[in-house]
Chain A
Amino acid sequence: MATYTMKEAKPAPTTNKGVVFWLRENLFPDVKNTLLTLAGLYLLYTIIPPLLDWMIFDATWTGSKDEVVNSGARWIFIVEKFDQFMYGFYPEALHWRPNLVGILSLILIFGFKYIGSIKLKIATIILFPIICFILISGGWFGLEVVETEKWGGLMLTILVAAVGIVASFPIGVVLALGRQSDMPILRTLCIGFIEFVRGVPLITILFMASVLLPLFFHDGIEFNKLLRALIGITLFQAAYIAEVIRGGLQAIPKGQYEASEALGLTYWQGMILIILPQALKISIPNLVGSFISLFKDTTLVLIIGLFDILAMVTLTNSDTNWLGYEVEGYVFVTLIYWVCCFSMSQYSKSIERKFNTEH
């Protein structure tokens, strides 16, 4: 009988590791790439130091605007107008209310996974928006009412995006399921809605929401401008969410539907327990992509007279005491948008890792 011995696993060779090896392999493998690397380094050298000088080393952070001597950015403008960028015309004495909402939201975002029971999770999801609304708008529990006309700045941007994301999500799921339904009327309605909304720019929908919606209601009812924008944005976003989720649904193998049917689950049980969890997991990157574009699109509300953070910058720039500070204002807004969007993208990556079961 032939004998054999199993071979031991050996460690991989060490020559292809280390910084020097990486540099040689990636930056200086041959003459052409070495030249490109050097050109790239020179380009960075011409851009980065002056940028840093302008933003940090030569910048003016404190003092009054008449005493500026440095050549860099005059961040005193941002410092001076910071509250307006953040809260719009929200009364200064009440800034603690949106601040509290912000803190609560962060606690919810990072603490949600630690809530044990499903019932408590659902209760939180339902109650949290109500608490936030009461805190910001007031009117209950002796909180002073703040009209929506006074809401603005980053607070409004985040609020519009959050409502758009949270409210559009369930509608999008239902539209996506409806689009795949066996019932022809339901399917046609869903396809019709999705295709109509996707065929129209958001600006048009916002105009329609602010001009058309009031026509449907009796004269007496004063329909809030912000609410109209929120409805418009939610419906717009729902159509995109529906298409993203449909993509996820179509990626689920037919066997999963059959297995859940064969076990005797009802349509909704099968969808909620088996199909949607998998479809949504696949859809996370695209969903977050869609949410990030919504976050940036919210700035279009400025054209129907709401003052989000970008509108606030434009507005403060027309203050005769502070003319000529556009660059600082827009750089600041850019940074804010980037921080928000990048955080969303990072958060989505952490969720993806959490749901990954293909170890």
Chain B
Amino acid sequence: MSDQEVMITMKDVNKWYGDFHVLKDVNLNIKKGEKVVICGPSGSGKSTTIRCLNHLEKFQEGSININGTELIEDVKVVRHIRSQVGMVFQHFNLFPHLSVLENLLIAPTWVHKKPRKEAIETAMYYLERVKIAEQAHKYPNQLSGGQQQRVAIARCLCINPEIMLFDEPTSALDPEMVSEVLDVMVELADEGITMICVTHEMGFAKKVADRVVFMDAGQVIEENEPNEFFDNPQSDRLKLFLEQILSH
């Protein structure tokens, strides 16, 4: 693969919380437009890995390159990277004091300095896309969990990101609302945006992912394209994991 195609390179990334070694030599190469699902037991470092990519977590060793920019501890570099990377959180993290529309306007108007009128048009377009435009003037707490998560996705799309990170986007939702969020994510995947998704939704992984990565105890144990990953797991650890999550 050529250099232009590479979107994310993680090279030997190591991270410690105090003495606790959370990421051990994590290597990950993701091409432009690729959909990658990261799974693994809790505490395996999957969330930490993607949180390193937009510098919500610092790492001590190794290097990360995002779309040609080396991630270093410099305010401007970090802001530059964050302006191309959208993140969707487990608990939505919408701003409760702002209406849905205002939530979507914050980054375009303050970070990307777009005129307000243009930003409103973009925001309404994406609210339409996630099928929630009629709620634009409500406050986040007046919406259901699934609706809030869709607003959170729209909020990321408003900055027109190169990369979307999803950190367990459906884990905090009522079971009835998981599918409405996954539907939006599947649509998004069809459009060629680079996606990295930490999730336990294996159906989503099978349907959408180009590659599935399995992590345990801070290491990448195994990565493969979805059919091979689920049908022909190589390591015992992954076999056990799949047995446990797919057993019922």
CB distance from A161 to the nearest CB of B (A): 28
Task: Tell whether, in the assembled complex, residue A263 and residue B141 are in contact, meaning their CB atoms are under 8 Å apart.
Answer: no
Does A358 belong to the interface (CB within 8 Å)? yes
Q: Which residues of A contact B94 (CB under 8 A)?
A: 259
Q: Which residues of B contact A273 (CB under 8 A)?
A: 106, 110
CB distance from A51 to the nearest CB of B (A): 46
Q: Which of A63-71, A86-94, A151-159, A274-282 contacts B (4 or more CB under 8 A)?
A: A274-282
Does B69 belong to the interface (CB within 8 Å)? no
A263-B155 in contact given A273-B106, A274-B106, A357-B139 (Cβ < 8 Å): yes
Q: Which of A255, A260, A263 counts the most chain B CB atoms within 10 A?
A: A263
Task: Tell whether, in the assembled complex, residue B111 and residue A263 are in contact, meaning their CB atoms are under 8 Å apart.
Answer: yes
Q: Which residues of A contact B107 (CB under 8 A)?
A: 263-265
A278-B82 in contact given A263-B107, A263-B155 (Cβ < 8 Å): no
Q: Which residues of A contact B97 (CB under 8 A)?
A: 277-278, 281, 355, 357
Q: Which residues of A contact B139 (CB under 8 A)?
A: 357-359
Q: Which residues of A contact B111 (CB under 8 A)?
A: 263-265, 269
Does B195 belong to the interface (CB within 8 Å)? no
Find the A residue at minimum CB distance from B90.
A255
Cα–Cα distance between A262 and B159 once the two chains are bound (Å): 11
A264-B83 in contact given A274-B106, A359-B142 (Cβ < 8 Å): yes
The number of chain A residues touching the other chain, given as a range, is: 20 to 34
Cα–Cα distance between A78 and B103 once the two chains are bound (Å): 56
Cα–Cα distance between A274 and B155 once the two chains are bound (Å): 14
Interface size on B, residues (CB 8 A): 25
A262-B141 in contact given A255-B91, A278-B96, A355-B97 (Cβ < 8 Å): no
Does A204 belong to the interface (CB within 8 Å)? no
CB within 8 Å of B: which A107-134 residues: none
Find the B residue at minimum CB distance from A259.
B93
CB distance from A183 to the nearest CB of B (A): 14
Find the A residue at minimum CB distance from B87.
A262
Cα–Cα distance between A347 and B141 once the two chains are bound (Å): 25
Does B49 belong to the interface (CB within 8 Å)? no
CB within 8 Å of A: which B148-162 residues: 155, 159
Does B147 belong to the interface (CB within 8 Å)? no
Q: Which residues of B contact A263 (CB under 8 A)?
A: 82, 106-107, 111, 155, 159
Does A80 belong to the interface (CB within 8 Å)? no
Task: Tell whether, in the assembled complex, residue A261 and residue B106 are in contact, meaning their CB atoms are under 8 Å apart.
Answer: no
Find the B residue at minimum CB distance from A254.
B93
Cα–Cα distance between A264 and B83 once the two chains are bound (Å): 6
Partner of B56, one of A256, A258, A265: A258
Task: Tell whether, in the assembled complex, residue A258 and residue B106 are in contact, meaning their CB atoms are under 8 Å apart.
Answer: no
Find the A residue at minimum CB distance from B82.
A264
CB distance from B145 to the nearest CB of A (A): 14
CB within 8 Å of B: which A66-110 residues: none
Task: Tell whether, in the assembled complex, residue A357 and residue B110 are in contact, meaning their CB atoms are under 8 Å apart.
Answer: no
CB distance from B105 to the nearest CB of A (A): 10
CB distance from A269 to the nearest CB of B (A): 5
CB within 8 Å of A: which B64-104 residues: 75, 79, 82-83, 85-87, 89, 91, 93-97
Task: Tell whether, in the assembled complex, residue B82 and residue A274 are in contact, meaning their CB atoms are under 8 Å apart.
Answer: no
CB within 8 Å of B: which A313-359 residues: 355, 357-359
Q: Which residues of B contact A259 (CB under 8 A)?
A: 87, 89, 93-95
Does A266 belong to the interface (CB within 8 Å)? yes
Question: What are 7 residue pairs bridging A and B, where the CB atoms are less than 8 Å apart in the complex?
Answer: A253-B93, A255-B91, A262-B56, A264-B107, A265-B107, A266-B79, A269-B111
Q: A259-B94, A269-B111, A273-B106 are in contact. List 9 more A-B contacts (CB 8 A).
A: A258-B56, A258-B89, A260-B95, A263-B82, A277-B97, A278-B96, A359-B139, A359-B141, A359-B142
